[in-house]
Amino acid sequence: MNITWDARGYTSGFAFVHQYGEGVLEMIDAAPGSHVVDLGCGNGALSEKLLARGYRVTAIDASEEMLAQARALHPDIPFAQADATDFTLPAPADVIFSNAVFHWIDRDRQPLLAASIARNLKTGGQLVCEFGGFGCAERVHSALEHAFAARGLVYPRVFYFPTIAEHAPILEAAGLRVTCALLFDRPTPQQGADGLKNWIHMFVKTPFEGIPADVREAIIAEAVDSLRPTLRREDGTWIVDYVRIRIKAVKV
Domain assignment of residue 124, yes or no = yes
Query: What pLDDT does 22 receive?
Result: 76
Which residue, among 50, 37, 183, has the nearest Cα to 97 in the 3D structure? 37
What sections of the chain are H helices per DSSP?
7-13, 16-25, 45-52, 64-73, 110-119, 138-149, 164-173, 195-203, 213-231
CB 232 within 8 A of CB 188: no
Domain assignment of residue 145, yes or no = no
| Cα 174 from Cα 177, distance rounded (Å) | 9
Q: Is the pLDDT of residue 14 over 50?
A: no
Give residue 68's domain range: 7-138+158-191+239-251
Mean pLDDT over all residues of the chain?
A: 92
| Mean pLDDT calculated for residue range 179-200 | 95
Q: Which residue has the higher pLDDT, 63 or 149?
A: 149
Domain assignment of residue 64, yes or no = yes
SS3 214: helix
Stated length of the chain: 252
Domain assignment of residue 212, yes or no = no
pLDDT level of residue 23 (50, 70, 90 thresholds):
confident
| Mean pLDDT calculated for residue range 161-170 | 98
Query: What pLDDT does 15 receive?
Result: 53
Domain assignment of residue 174, yes or no = yes
Which range among 7-11, 65-69, 183-187 shows the weakest confidence by mean pLDDT?
7-11
| Cα 181 from Cα 192, distance rounded (Å) | 33
Question: What radius of gyration, in Å, describes the C-alpha atoms of the chain?
Answer: 18
Q: How far is CA 43 from CA 35, 38, 93, 214, in A?
A: 19, 11, 21, 30
DSSP codes, 18-37: HHHHHHHHTT--PPTT-EEE
| Mean pLDDT calculated for residue range 40-48 | 92
Domain assignment of residue 163, yes or no = yes
Contacts of 52 by beta carbon, 8 Å cutoff, 6+ apart? none
Q: How far is CA 222 from CA 143, 205, 227, in A?
A: 8, 17, 9
Structurally, how many domains does the chain consist of?
1
Within its chain, how far is the Cα of 195 from the centroid?
Answer: 18
| Cα 170 from Cα 163, distance rounded (Å) | 12
Query: What pLDDT does 3 receive?
Result: 57
Domain assignment of residue 67, yes or no = yes
SS3 120: coil
CB atoms within 10 A of CB 202: 17
Instruction: Judge residue 122's burial from the number of C-beta atoms within 10 Å of its C-beta, 0-12 exposed, 13-18 middle, 19 or more buried.
Output: middle
Instruction: Residue 75: give its domain's CATH number.
Output: 3.40.50.150
Domain assignment of residue 208, yes or no = no
Contacts of 171 by beta carbon, 8 Å cutoff, 6+ apart? 114, 127, 178, 247, 249
Query: What pLDDT does 18 receive?
Result: 57
